[in-house]
Structure 1
């Protein structure tokens, strides 16, 4: 909302000498966001009003040039005389007798454009006839600024063009539609400065005689329809310059007098109007919903197919206006219009908001109607427009009508005496509460009663409960007066065990050279298809958002892999080659038997059964960790060649996660999409699967454009058992015995099973077991493989003999042989 301070000052008694910056600060203090302050650029030297005396067309040049004689008033002629000045001008939008703005030689226009007498096109140009753009008061390209015919010649044009004025640009929130007007902002400025405010809508209007135009309201979306008919106007009369200047300062383009006065009243009072050419109306006006197949060509030239929910203004010919949004071409005001019907209606905000978005047709009118217009001033607004129209274009008002539908009823809100202090955090005197609410426009039945019975004004549909009234008091009394007191923080217990474990895992992965990412947390069917998930895969069962951020990814993720892989492909598309990413985040797994969530109001705390039911309706939300290794995992350098990541690296990272979490993880071969069926392992705690690791399926790699043999892992962190209280390890002071054992097993045997058997057979003296080689060449029987293990044997209380160490080794091998069929190689 662009608000000229001069216009604002007509209705609020600003203190003498108040600057635009001070007005902006005051509006900011009472809750309005100030975006900018616009001022007219300075012009130095003589800038006067002149009148065109004659125009000579110079046709010998490539473009049309005019040699103009202008009366610039006493003492402003050449050498201080009263004689006219002669000026070269290329614009063609003015005629003999027009009043224009003249920059005399020696003046400097905005942008440092100095004016001087100079020879051009074979004549002396003694000054400059100015356009809106050259004066710095607009950006129009329509030519010279032509001002009102009754303007005195020779006066300083600065006051005329508003060089002393400034415009404050405000961002108005959706709940304060009343502030999209000079009326609303002047009221706020009056409250901010605590000075008198004069309501421009507080005027008497003539009675309704029913002769405006016959109107029938056939839909509850229209609460009031006021018409004023004006006949006999002169369609050639231009809008007075003061109206054009104010509209331009407010960001509205001047079109014609009939349209300009409706826009002027809309900006001043906040009530949009529409003008119909009564000669083009056919029969009575009816407000109704659109019929199937109806179309309307709106004023922007677009032929629009209407929906059944659209609210229309119609006559016997069909739709003539999209209610509250934009009029139709069939009844548009033209250059020959002499009879006008001015409409001032109240429309339900919901209808207007939905229609404007449905047709992608926002307008100044819809912007106000969808935020709530004051229905009490419809007649005032229509009458104001009619009076301006007849004042400048002649004619007369020949009829007025006012048809009522169902208007909103203002609630009576009880406000207990201590409510303001309870909600705002500081006490307020009763007189301050009453005074501020009256400044807002509220009516209070008895200022001494408790609770106060407060009726909001018709222009404030946002005031519906006591908290809204307290907010008005608090902002007008200044939020800065509310003390900032931090509540006492209870003694903290620190991070939970799960939080500490998660941070430890994240730190360890980062230390291993991986980069943490926060991927887009929503997925779509295409993501699951790219991963090659089967139609019945449980991960395809998702919760779909009602209002998704991305229409192609409307569901909450059930796995971290789509977002993580998307981050990899995006980086590859931007030239990255070797990537190692990880993410720790929630996934959302719908429950098969989840109850429907219940609606719980905000007037009380939910009961425990209600909370339990709400919790049960939510999907499970475990935290997962996922890793992607694409390209080189170890980069080449002077130390040697590099190495691409593989399934072994993904599994080793899984082991690192288990080590950091203090949990022994088992690795067992598995098949699970989207992993390669021969290079995938399940990650287990005992026999419970908590995740998978390995290389991606070649089809997935190809579909996503990833490097060959890219590896991924995903583990459910919440499935890890709680870590036991750490105990410092006992370090034996006695020397270890290092032994190597090579066991031959079938190719189907799992190294993890052999390792478990060695540990179980070795007993307490077997300190550690590590697989360091796997061989399946010619030196072992077909269908077999050799697993080589490094054993560390040590006693806590003595030095072991060779016999002791060999006994431990033999017991471990015997157990492995019994459990897995292993034979010593």
Structure 2
């Protein structure tokens, strides 16, 4: 929204010397973001209003040239006299008697263009008749700027053309549609600066003239979509009447192109009061007007020349021939104001914001009108706005107002009871009752005292003020957020990060210390991603939650695994020259339940009960936290010390072990065959017998489909499946010496070393302090199809020194257990 300072000053008493930047700062204090403050480029020297006295057409030149005498007022003539000045000009859009802007010799126009008397085309050009572009107040340059006939000759032209008029440009949020008008911004400026505001729209509404005759027959079939429809008719308009300069300047300063008198007037009232208007050529209407929803198959050619197929939800203004306007969005071509229109019907209505918003988006047809209607306009000023536009049309285009039709009513907003203690309770700062009432009245509310509370009737343009909290917010906003106390709340004991959050942070820090880089990948997947992972049709990871309006049409589902996004990040880095990568991510995945119920409908007039919240929670998919990592290239770089070492499945398994160690959980590693891992180099990571994830080398086909280097590795664990350990207890250190024993056993090659380790640990009992695999051997003295595993055992008692016989007994028990469970034989 662009607001010229001079336009604001007509409605609010700005202090003398107030600049556009100061107004922008004041509006910023009350919650309006400033996008820019535009100051026209300065003109140095004399810029005066002149009247053209004579025009002589010069011939014999390649382009049309005119020799003009221009009266520039007393004291502005040659040598400081009153005589007219002779000026050469090539424009042809002005005539004798027109008032123009003249730059006298010595004047420097924007861009450093200095005006001087000079001999040209056989005459002395003693000044310059200026165009809008030359004055730096617009982009029009096809002709001379012609001022209104009442512009005083000889006066300084800067004020008339707005050369010193700053423009404040604001970003208006959707909840403040009233601020898309000079009226609304002037009210906010008055409140911000605490100066008087004059509401011309309200004054005209209260003094609305009576009309004996209706303007046009109007029927409103859809009262929900159109609460009020006003039509005012003006007959006998001069279709060739131009828009006065002041009107064109105001409209252009607001960022709207000047088109014609009728259109400029409707735009002027819209920007000034926030009420969009539409002008029909009444001579092209067929029969009475009906406001209704569009009919099946109905079409409309809008003003932009496009034939639009209307939907049943679209509101239209129709006559006997069908739809003639897409209500609140754009008019139709069949009743467009043309160069011969002398009978104008002005429409001012209140349209349902939701309906207008849907229509504008459905037809991809945003407009200045729809932008205001979808944010709700003030229904109380519709009649006054139409009458004001009609009066301007009569003033500058002739004709007379022949009738007004007003169908519908102004909705009355309910009053709100505001306890006087409520502002202090919500903001932490006390407000005097007089201050509360004053601030609300500045915003247009009617306030009456009712004991220890105020009865507040919101203004018709603020339907959002429906609760005491809304009123408190307005009081705090206008009185100044800067005055609210800043008090740091005391943190109650026992709060902070949960145990799960602390564990996630420890795991992330440990993986980073191990040389991995944390990334945040795209949290959505598509069927193509799961296909590239090679997931079988019945895999649970293919059952996903699909979004109704996805950001990426190719990835419409919430991720059930972190690997696609993590692999994409790795491939992107590889494509940009990286060779050795170690990436990890900790994030949520979304796992819909097989029998997941539909979410219940929750009430909006109260807080849901605990039972309703439990039903809602049970209808949501599972959202566990996962950790995943991808390893490509070398984990140990090559250098003068020797060759590098490529990442292997063992590195992925070791990272899983590190995660378990940081989480305080002992993880069990067993062989597995799960996509997308290589079936011979995949490990299942379990807590006891419960699998929590997988680690290993990715399948060669997966690497090929994604473009990863061969033998890339990955892991993914469900962190929520890792139990939280009991509070740590300090270890009891035995003061007695350990007994170290080595034992080698022969087992079938298919038996995992982890199973043998677990059997030894279980069989050794409480005296077996640790078991560590330190050698794997195949070859001579080991039967074919078997493998020799050597373990280092540490045996120790907490209360005594063990004898050699006791230590050997523990070793034998451990070997016996391994023999029973895995078929191991002592080597």
TM-score when scaled to structure 2?
0.92
Q: 1:644 aligns with which of 646, 649, 670?
A: 646
1:119 Cα offset (Å): 6.1
| Cross-structure match for 1:756 | 758
1:258 Cα offset (Å): 0.6
CA RMSD of aligned residues (A): 2.9
| Cross-structure match for 1:680 | 682
Choose 468-477 or 585-594, whichever is displaced more. 585-594
1:703 Cα offset (Å): 2.5
1:589 Cα offset (Å): 2.4
8 Å Cα contact 1:776-1:786 kept in structure 2: yes
Choose 559-568 or 520-529, whichever is displaced more. 520-529
Choose 788-797 or 801-810, whichever is displaced more. 801-810
| Cross-structure match for 1:71 | 70
Equivalent residue runs for 1:500-511 within 5 Å: 500-511=502-513
Distance change (3 Å), C-alpha of 1:92 and 1:551 = farther
8 Å Cα contact 1:771-1:787 kept in structure 2: no
| Cross-structure match for 1:543 | 545
| Cross-structure match for 2:660 | 658
1:134 Cα offset (Å): 2.7
Distance change (3 Å), C-alpha of 1:674 and 1:119 = farther
| Cross-structure match for 1:370 | 374
8 Å Cα contact 1:651-1:693 kept in structure 2: yes
SS of 2:705's partner is: helix
1:608 aligns with 2:610: yes
Q: 2:416 aligns with which of 385, 398, 413?
A: 413
| Cross-structure match for 1:223 | 227
Choose 351-360 or 29-38, whichever is displaced more. 29-38
1:249 Cα offset (Å): 1.5
| Cross-structure match for 1:499 | 501
| Cross-structure match for 2:435 | 432
Distance change (3 Å), C-alpha of 1:172 and 1:810 = same
Q: 1:457 aligns with which of 459, 464, 476?
A: 459
| Cross-structure match for 1:137 | 137
8 Å Cα contact 1:209-1:401 kept in structure 2: no
Q: Distance in 1 between matches of 2:466 and 2:285?
A: 40
Q: Distance in 1 between matches of 2:239 and 2:604?
A: 57
Q: Distance in 1 between matches of 2:553 and 2:60?
A: 61
Equivalent residue runs for 1:267-666 within 5 Å: 267-404=271-408, 407-444=410-447, 446-449=448-451, 451-492=453-494, 495-601=497-603, 605-666=607-668
Equivalent residue runs for 1:190-209 within 5 Å: 190-201=190-201, 202-203=203-204, 204-209=207-212
8 Å Cα contact 2:670-2:683 kept in structure 1: yes
1:398 Cα offset (Å): 1.9
| Cross-structure match for 1:148 | 148
8 Å Cα contact 2:72-2:102 kept in structure 1: no
Choose 773-782 or 283-292, whichever is displaced more. 773-782
| Cross-structure match for 1:214 | 217
1:708 aligns with 2:710: yes
Distance change (3 Å), C-alpha of 1:197 and 1:663 = closer
Q: Distance in 1 between matches of 2:269 and 2:81?
A: 44
Choose 26-35 or 510-519, whichever is displaced more. 26-35
Give aligned pairs, total: 819
SS of 2:425's partner is: helix
Choose 572-581 or 338-347, whichever is displaced more. 572-581
| Cross-structure match for 1:25 | 25
| Cross-structure match for 2:39 | 39
| Cross-structure match for 2:268 | 264
1:113 Cα offset (Å): 2.9
Distance change (3 Å), C-alpha of 1:788 and 1:128 = farther
Distance change (3 Å), C-alpha of 1:390 and 1:581 = same
Q: Distance in 2 between matches of 1:780 and 1:124?
A: 118
1:754 Cα offset (Å): 1.7
8 Å Cα contact 2:70-2:86 kept in structure 1: no
Q: Distance in 1 between matches of 2:242 and 2:219?
A: 34
8 Å Cα contact 1:670-1:680 kept in structure 2: yes
Distance change (3 Å), C-alpha of 1:248 and 1:796 = same
1:649 Cα offset (Å): 1.4
Equivalent residue runs for 1:800-811 within 5 Å: none
Distance change (3 Å), C-alpha of 1:492 and 1:128 = farther
SS of 2:200's partner is: coil
8 Å Cα contact 1:176-1:462 kept in structure 2: no
Once the two structures are superposed, residues 409-452 of structure 1 have per-residue CA deviations (whole angstroms, 9 ceiling, x without a partner) of 311222233333323333333333333333322234x4244543
8 Å Cα contact 2:774-2:792 kept in structure 1: no
1:789 aligns with 2:793: no
SS of 1:31's partner is: coil
Q: Distance in 2 between matches of 1:603 and 1:58?
A: 81
SS of 2:440's partner is: helix
Q: Distance in 2 between matches of 1:30 and 1:764?
A: 73
8 Å Cα contact 1:100-1:147 kept in structure 2: yes
Once the two structures are superposed, residues 535-562 of structure 1 have per-residue CA deviations (whole angstroms, 9 ceiling, x without a partner) of 3322222333445444443433322222
Q: Which runs of 5+ in 1 are unaligned?
A: none
SS of 1:255's partner is: coil
1:43 Cα offset (Å): 0.9
Q: Distance in 2 between matches of 1:288 and 1:399?
A: 23
Q: Distance in 2 between matches of 1:359 and 1:604?
A: 37
1:264 Cα offset (Å): 0.6
Q: Distance in 2 between matches of 1:119 and 1:354?
A: 63
Q: Distance in 2 between matches of 1:660 and 1:287?
A: 70
1:12 Cα offset (Å): 1.9
Q: Distance in 2 between matches of 1:124 and 1:673?
A: 91
Choose 362-371 or 613-622, whichever is displaced more. 613-622
Distance change (3 Å), C-alpha of 1:781 and 1:144 = farther
SS of 2:449's partner is: coil
Q: Distance in 1 between matches of 2:603 and 2:42?
A: 58
| Cross-structure match for 2:259 | 255
Q: Distance in 1 between matches of 2:540 and 2:371?
A: 46
Q: Distance in 1 between matches of 2:516 and 2:732?
A: 29
1:802 Cα offset (Å): 8.8
8 Å Cα contact 2:439-2:478 kept in structure 1: yes
SS of 1:510's partner is: helix
Q: Distance in 2 between matches of 1:660 and 1:196?
A: 67
Distance change (3 Å), C-alpha of 1:780 and 1:218 = same
| Cross-structure match for 2:49 | 49
SS of 1:447's partner is: strand
8 Å Cα contact 1:48-1:72 kept in structure 2: no
TM-score when scaled to structure 1?
0.92
| Cross-structure match for 2:249 | 245
1:470 Cα offset (Å): 2.1
Distance change (3 Å), C-alpha of 1:411 and 1:766 = same
Distance change (3 Å), C-alpha of 1:766 and 1:86 = farther
Choose 653-662 or 143-152, whichever is displaced more. 143-152
Choose 488-497 or 595-604, whichever is displaced more. 595-604
Q: Distance in 2 between matches of 1:382 and 1:801?
A: 109
Distance change (3 Å), C-alpha of 1:59 and 1:254 = farther
Q: Distance in 2 between matches of 1:529 and 1:99?
A: 76
1:177 aligns with 2:177: yes
1:692 aligns with 2:694: yes
Q: Distance in 1 between matches of 2:469 and 2:539?
A: 50
1:286 Cα offset (Å): 1.4
1:325 Cα offset (Å): 0.7
8 Å Cα contact 2:518-2:585 kept in structure 1: yes
Distance change (3 Å), C-alpha of 1:754 and 1:134 = same
